[in-house]
Amino acid sequence: MNEQKASHNADEVKLIQAAQKNIQFFRDLYQRHYKAVFRFVYARSGNDEDLSADLTQQAFVKAMLNINRYEYRGVPFIAWLYRIALNEINLHYRNSKKARSVSIDEHTVKLFIEEIDDEFSEVKLEALKLTMSDQNEEVVQLIEMRYFEKRSFKELGEILGISESNAKVKVHRILKKLKITLLKKMQLLTGEKK
């Protein structure tokens, strides 16, 4: 398996180097990664196909224009593309002044609530919605990628340009703060004092 991964990385590095010398070869990188980047964007665009296609295209245009700045440092090329796509998504929502939706399924939400507060309830679900709507984009991105997309800490670090251990620390701190905020929101919703 490691040989196969090393071969894939070596092949990708060759494609990147070819694209850096002749932009015509960027097409191979585009074809290799378009679907994955599109799915990444689609999950963050409220499942809007047209918007996802536009943002994915913009991300690839930026990647193509900046391919000469890319340096392979052991991090997969797709992580660089995800980071560019994430910037395009954030720019779009900032400029349009619309709130970005988070695509999650019911089972995943239940697991996430149980992760931060032991057991699921409808009140906790409502409190979680309120809590997440108050969070900044970095918090939402980390939670979304870690818990709703099931990305490893290593992948988080690669996408966000931080170390794996930094990703772990950030997520741990976020969960700690979310738990406190979630309890406060639940108290507001139920009118209870704990």
The domains found in the chain, sorted by start residue, are 2-96 (1.10.1740.10), 106-190 (1.10.10)
Q: Considering the chain, what percentage of its residues have pLDDT values greater than 70? A: 88
Burial (CB count within 10 angstroms: exposed 0-12, middle 13-18, buried 19+), residue 33:
buried
* Helix, strand or coil, per DSSP, at residue 28: helix
Q: How far apart are CA 134 and CA 181, in angstroms?
A: 10
Report pLDDT for 132.
Answer: 77
Mean pLDDT of all residues belonging to the chain: 84
Q: Are 117 and 182 in contact (CB under 8 A)?
A: yes
Report pLDDT for 93.
Answer: 83
Between residues 117 and 170, the one the model is more confident about: 170
pLDDT per position as a tens digit, 49-102: 999 999 999 999 999 999 999 988 888 899 999 999 999 998 898 888 776 666
Q: How far apart are CA 71 and CA 128, in angstroms?
A: 40
Q: Give the contacts of 47 (CB within 8 A, at least 6 positions apart).
A: 103
pLDDT per position as a tens digit, 4-39: 555 557 788 899 999 999 999 999 999 999 999 999
- Nearest residue to 178 via CA among 140, 149, 121, 123: 140
Q: Are 78 and 70 in contact (CB under 8 A)?
A: no
Report pLDDT for 127.
Answer: 78
Q: Of all helices (H) and strands (E), which one includes residue 64?
A: helix 49-65
**pTM (2 d.p.):** 0.74
Report pLDDT for 113.
Answer: 74
